[in-house]
Structure 1
Amino acid sequence: MHLVPTILLLSSICHFAVANNGQASVAFRFHNKCPFPVWPAAAPNAGHPVIAAGGFLLLPNRTRRVRSPPTWNGRFWARTGCDFSSSRACQTGDCQGRLACNGTIGTPPATLVSLQEVDSEPSFYDVSLVDGYNLPVSVSTWPAEDKCSIGGCTRDVNSVCPRELQVVHEASGAVVACRSACLAFDLDAFCCRNAYGTPETCRDSVYSRVFKEACPGYFSYAYDAPPPLVNCHAGEYVVTFCPARWGSGHLPL
């Protein structure tokens, strides 16, 4: 996300807060349950450091643990179909062709896990499709608590994505991501801006409802209500890509 479109600004509304509570650091455990490699990426909010060099490879059924300062703010996403010998390395979520994004925001559409600090309060976190979708993601605390979990999706959004929102792999014709309506059409009503810049004036649409029906625990648009934020504090959080294993028909090429 380096040509930062307006849609990216909307996702800053919903973030994840990691508060200090006397801890020296917070751990994030990334688990890849997809039947293909993913390249997790991290981008800090302004004033926060880059963690894990901003990105790394995670093979199927592998886990990587990353530590951050206790008040780190930012976002995570997974890149798919990457080949770092090309200038646009990844089919989805690419960050200027780099393996280590080093703080660069990825190109939408990509499913975002967002984090925001609130001093002396538990963590706030969410999964957002405001920038569109590429993979299902779940988030939980460790040890796990039901009230602190964001589940994955009941369906793969790419399999139900309207044609006008689809991102299609040129060689195979496979749908590899689904754009949000804001990203696809750049209209105020979909982007929740100008006259539509309040919860009262920006409402759901036929497109956001596709997202919501498939992934009920995620933000489907900027003013999704009630806001699907989770408010829990833990010393470790688990971010799982493809929490429900997909069939072979869903593998990115």
Structure 2
Amino acid sequence: MVSYTPSSSSKVNQGNGKCITGDCGGTLKCIGGGSPPVGPVEDFYDVSLVDGYNGGLGVKALGGSGDCQYAGCVADLKGNCPTELRVMDSGSTVACKSACSALNAPELSSRHNTQMFKNACPTAYSYAYDDASSACTCTGSDYLIIFCPNGSG
């Protein structure tokens, strides 16, 4: 489960709240992305694990033309996260950083070092330049965004 706590003076439909991971300064509408690790939905849609994983997320095109495949991650990567990459809260793993993000080492953002993410979530963008299997270019579509598909997260 992705942890989300509404602020005491707001209602969920106002778009305010605080997340343990992926927070956007107390708002649910991120401009420029949340604080890693987070699995954002990006342009030419994909679901990215480049900075890490904090919960299941999927995007499904509804109509449109072009490459309109499902993009996402339904696996729960927190259970197999290496100790040094874990984000902990109250003794529980709430997210898994990528090696690149955890060690602040861009050279680790290669296919080799993110194989755990790619094996578990083949339609998610798992490393820099992972466009061939993960970036979708569907035009003229509406999108269904699914949080925690199949109970993941």
Q: Same fold (TM over 0.5)?
A: yes
The alignment partner of 1:148 has SS state of coil
Distance, in Å, in 1 between the alignment partners of 2:74 and 2:24 is 28
Name the aligned partner's letter for residue 21 of structure 2. Answer: T
Does 1:93 pair with 2:27? Answer: no
Q: Report the equivalent of 2:56.
A: 136
- What is the correspondence of 1:63-212 to structure 2 with a 5 Å cutoff? 80-84=3-7, 89-96=18-25, 98-101=26-29, 103=31, 105-115=33-43, 124-143=44-63, 148-153=68-73, 155-169=75-89, 171=90, 173-191=91-109, 203-206=110-113, 208-212=114-118
Q: Secondary structure at the match of 1:95?
A: coil
Give me the whole-angstrom Cα distance separating, in 1, the residues matched to 2:31 and 2:98. 23
Number of matched residues? Answer: 144
Within 2, Cα distance between the matches of 1:167 and 1:101? 22
Could you tell me how far 1:204 is from its partner in structure 2? 1.7
Q: Deviations over 1:115-143 (max 9, x none)?
A: 1xxxxxxxx21111111111111111224
In the other structure, the counterpart of 2:124 is 218
Contact 2:64 2:138 survives alignment (8 Å): no
Write the letter of the residue equivalent to 2:7.
Answer: F
Distance 2:64 2:141 in 1: 11
Change in 2 beyond 3 A, CA 1:174/1:189: same
Q: Which residue of 1 aligns with 2:11?
A: none
Quick one: which amino acid aligns to residue 99 of structure 1? T
What is the distance in 1 between the residues matched to 2:133 and 2:93?
A: 28
Q: 1:187 to 1:231 in 2, by over 3 A?
A: same
2:100 aligned partner, one-letter code:
C
Question: What percentage of aligned pairs have identical amino acids?
Answer: 38
Structure 2 counterpart of 1:241: 147
Contact 1:138 1:149 in 2 (8 A): no
Instruction: Spell out, residue by residue over 1:41-68, the C-alpha distance to the aligned partner (whole angstroms, 9 max, x if none).
Output: xxxxxxxxxxxxxxxxxxxxxxxxxxxx
Is 1:232 the counterpart of 2:138? The answer is yes
For normalisation by structure 1, the TM-score amounts to 0.50
Q: How much has 1:219 moved relative to structure 2?
A: 1.2
How far apart are residue 239 of structure 1 and its match? Answer: 0.8
